[in-house]
Every structure is written in C-alpha cells, then in structure tokens.
Amino acid sequence: MKIYLDNAATTYPKPPEVYSSVLNYMMNIGANPGRGGSSSTLEASRIVYKTREAIASFFNFDKPENVIFTSNITLSLNILIKGIVKKGWHVITTSMEHNSVLRPLSSLNKKGFIELDIVPCSNEGLINIETLKNKIKSNTKLVILSHSSNIIGTIQPIEEIGKICKKHNIYFILDTAQTAGIIPIDFYKLNLSALAFTGHKSLLGPQGIGGFLISDKLNDEAVPIIEGGTGSLSESIFQPSFLPDKFESGTMNTPAIAGLFEGINFINKEGIYNIKEKEEYLTSKFIEGLLNMDHIILYGIKNHKKMTSVISINSTKIDNSELGYILDNNYGIITRTGLHCSPLAHKTIGTFPQGTLRFSFGFFNDIKDVNYTLESLNNIMKGM
C-alpha cells in the first residue's frame, strides 16, 4: 500500500463515515434540495441546512444562512473577489498567494478596474506587518490572503492583520484552504469579513464541495456573478437578494455536502487541538530528519509551531520531478512536485522556475510514514 503525503492537495484517506454518508445519500435519498416538497427533497434540504449549521459553529459564526456552498474554494474566492470589488478600489494581498487569489486580482488590475499591491514576504513566507501598514491608502478597501502557505506551511499573523483591517475599516477575506480543520479559526476574533473554505482538504470531506462565510456588511457590497435557478422566487426572472440563495444557483453537490458534514463531525469528535498536535509532531520529526540529511535543501520557517505540515525540499543531486517519480515508483510514496499553482510564492522563497518537492502530512499518517520516507530519501541520496 502506498504512503500518501500529498494532503495539501487533497486529504486521503477520508474517515469511513464520509464515504458511507455519500453512498447513503446517492442510494437512499437522491433528491435535489429546495426543489419540490417530497419527503426525499425535504430530507435533502435538512442535510444541507445541518451542514450549514455545522460549518457556522466550526468557525464560531452565528449566521448559518450566511454560509454559502460552492463547488470549490477557487470558485468561492472568485465570487468574493469579482462580486465585491468596485472600480477604483485598492486591494492588498501577498506574494505567497495561490493563483486562485492572484489570477482574479491580476486580471482586474490589468483591466484598470482596481489598484493592486502584492506585499513581498520573507524567504520564510512571512508577511511584514509594517510593510502591510505602509501600503494602506485612502482607497484601500480589501485585504485578502492565505492563512498559511501551500508550499512551505508558514502561518501568517492573521489576528494582527485583522486588527489592522478593523482599525482602517478595510474588508478582510481569508483563504483557509490549508488551515481549516487543522488550526482553530474564529470568524469574529479574527475580524473577518469573509472566510473561504474547501471541503476536501483538512475538513476531510469529498472533492467537489467548498464555500464561504460572509458578513452582513460585506454581503451588502456583493453581487452574484452566477445567476439562475435557486428553487425560490421562481416566479421572478431576477436573482433573489437574500442569503444563501443569492449566491447558490443550480443543483448543489448534495452528496458531497452530506460527506462534508461527517468530515466536520469527525474533527469535532477527535478534537482539532489533538489533530493539530499530531500533525505538529510528525512535522517536527520530519524536519529534524531532513536537517540531518546530506544533499537536501529545506525551505521555509522550519518551526513546527509556526507552520502547518507542508514541507518543501530540493536536492543538490537530482531534479525534484525525478525525485518525486522515484519516491512514487520505487518506494510507494506519493508527493507533489512543481510550482503548486503559486508562482510568486516560489519566487519569494527562491525556487522559481524549478519549484520544489512537497510533502504534506495528514491526520491518518503516523511516525512510521515519517521514518520510512526519511529512510527512502536517504537511500536515494546515497545512491546518487
């Protein structure tokens, strides 16, 4: 059996309850929520609503109706960015962002619709708070950034950034693709205006489900970028203005929503602090082993308390894509190579254009996986 170390892309395996809930929905319910009044339709609607409630509670958010479902976090971020920004707004982000943030912002900037500042981070991936403060102008309306890096795991000082945004009356959107389900996130404590999430990573749900939480204040600025059937106000040819229907057009991925509910339930049962502690332990042991290995270049902050379990390396002996291939085919270890859809982040840490070999541990990995991977890397390096 292969060792899966690509949990930053999608977590695997999932809790058994996730698989069974998806299968149960597809085999025994099957209906479309909000479309009609049959018993199956009502059951589908109940599943959707209880999942909204679970997500709201998970992020200490008191408005389940402001929890919006999408197909993934990329769509969530596009809806938030393109549906909210106004012409002439000044927007701030960082050099560590994923293309799901950088591309829509860069497109709007290229068209002259917004002013964009990309704050350079250190080669450890950290934003400089003073640099951020100095970028704020009279027309600065939005700060949007990732909670942690999808390349080197560095966790940004989000609470401090949230306070700055609140002080200057700036909207603050957080991309939690790499942290939701690993790090406790409090919507109000962080002074967030919106929080984008994906279901299939550390929330342990299936692929094809994501979403966002949005404050009433930011919702007042927002317009939907997708319009269509919602199952509500069907007599009108105009999109409903109330939540969640305002942003939810078309058939939902309800089987995945059912699975996401069980993923969140699993995290709550295990305890998010226990999950965090386990992943920190695996990360610390892996970093310790890498630092004692010849011909390995380790990037990032190298402190398991200040990062997620996302670790990037290169070798002075072999290209990262070839190393990834050998680990997979000769040792059964699945990793991720390349630029990870984050070109500016790789420029920031000095790994552009070759990228890195990325390892990312999850809840279902253990210390045996760490030790075997270190032994395998060591064997490969000795054989070069």
pLDDT value at position 233? 87
Q: Domain locations in the chain? A: 3-12+271-383, 16-270
Kindly report, residue by residue over 79-114, the tens digit of the pLDDT: 999 999 999 999 999 999 999 999 999 999 999 999
43: its two tokens: 């059951």
pLDDT exceeds 90 at position 379:
yes
Antiparallel, parallel or unpaired: β 336-338 and 356-360: antiparallel
The CATH architecture of the domain made up of 3-12+271-383 is Alpha-Beta Complex (3.90)
Average pLDDT over residues 221-235: 93
pLDDT exceeds 90 at position 123:
yes
270: its two tokens: 């295990």
pLDDT value at position 253? 98
Distances (CA, A) of 314 to 261, 299, 338, 356: 38, 8, 11, 6
CATH topology for the 16-270 domain: Aspartate Aminotransferase; domain 2 (3.40.640)
Query: What is the value of pTM for the model shown?
Result: 0.97
Kindly report, residue by residue over 1-24, the tens digit of the pLDDT: 899 999 999 999 999 999 999 999
Kindly report, residue by residue over 320-367, the tens digit of the pLDDT: 999 999 999 999 999 999 999 999 999 999 999 999 999 999 999 999
Average pLDDT over residues 246-265: 98
